[in-house]
Amino acid sequence: MSEIVSSVQPGARRPPWLRWALALLVVALVLSMVGAVYFWRQNGFQWATFLNTFRGLDPFWIAVAGLTALSTYLGRALRWRILIRSQKPNASIWRLFVATSIGFTAIVLFGRPGEMVRPYLIAVKERLSFSSQVAAWFLERIYDLLMALLIFGIALSQVHNSRVQVGPSMQWVLSVGGNVVTVLTLICLAVLIMLRLFTDVAERRLLAALAFLPERYRAKANNLVVSFTHGIGSTKCPTSIAQVVLLSILEWVLIILCYACVFHASPEMRTFGVRDVLIFVGFASFGNVIQIPGIGGGAQIVSVVVLTEMFGLSLEIASGIAVVLWAITFVVIVPFGLLLSFHEGLNWKKLRHLEEQLDALPNEPAA
């Protein structure tokens, strides 16, 4: 693996707009931290209460939450194996798990640019084309998004029976919004099934619709469309589709169970019911879209806002729980990912810039 990774040629320099975007992101992060410190000082943030949140946690339930979180990565490896079954019928579960662990470690360390590490490593390990693994990654993200939307919609539709502390009008808005989201999710799932049944037609229509784009953008957009449709086409077998759906459901059941264990470990949140956990997971899953390298990001902010504004917890307790959830759901894989990467002899410096280097890679598997 080390010689394969080290053989990647340096990619092109970052475009100016990306450098400006990164600079603005850093400025926004600094301003947010300054604002948070100012808010805490002005409102008397109780650091003793914040630290006591960690001391009061039940170690047993935290351990169960950690083991549950780790099991989700194995579940992802199993699901990926089904997604590439038509290309690699006997893909190694261990190699997929190694690539999954290292890939999610890269996300924690590098942020969203680390997303491409997992499909790249799987392509190299299983001797498949990189574009085919991007297709599998894209399809996996769609299933996860649909599951998150479905959980979110169902939870919000039951908000009147939860611990959420909002007025009657807001309860009505959340309940109606939950029903709308649920219906839209089912429609999206139906569209996904239709695309599976008519993959070739969908690909031709989508490519034709992109004809108006300039050449340099159209080529990339066409590659994305082809990868997406090929990813859908790889699971045309009804049995494979059913297995992917069942594993996606199991994946999110484990995620919900992980959050529930953390809540049960906290004395202040031990009375949270299933609906409360579902509502929280629904909001937090969308916060995960924003991932700042080494820090996390939107998930922690959303967690704090939901726990304080909707469930009435103090800022100190909500902040402590947000940190614990981030550590359990994201950071827990980092030690395993680092150990496995060292065992594989990976060059983390080159992986850090993998997204810039992918244009230099051939589209076919290595010999």
| Per-residue pLDDT tens digits for 246-300 | 999 999 999 999 999 999 999 988 888 888 888 888 878 766 655 545 445 567 7
Residue with tokens 């600079």: 23
Sign of CA dihedral 241, 242, 243, 247: positive
Q: Whole-model pTM?
A: 0.74
Model pLDDT, residue 294: 47
Do the beta carbons of residue 300 and residue 326 sit within 8 Å? yes
| Per-residue pLDDT tens digits for 8-55 | 333 334 445 445 655 665 666 566 666 665 655 556 677 788 888 899
Supply the DSSP string of 130-149, one letter for each residue: HHHHHHHHHHHHHHHHHHHH
Among candidate residues 337, 304, 334, the one with its CA nearest the CA of residue 322: 304
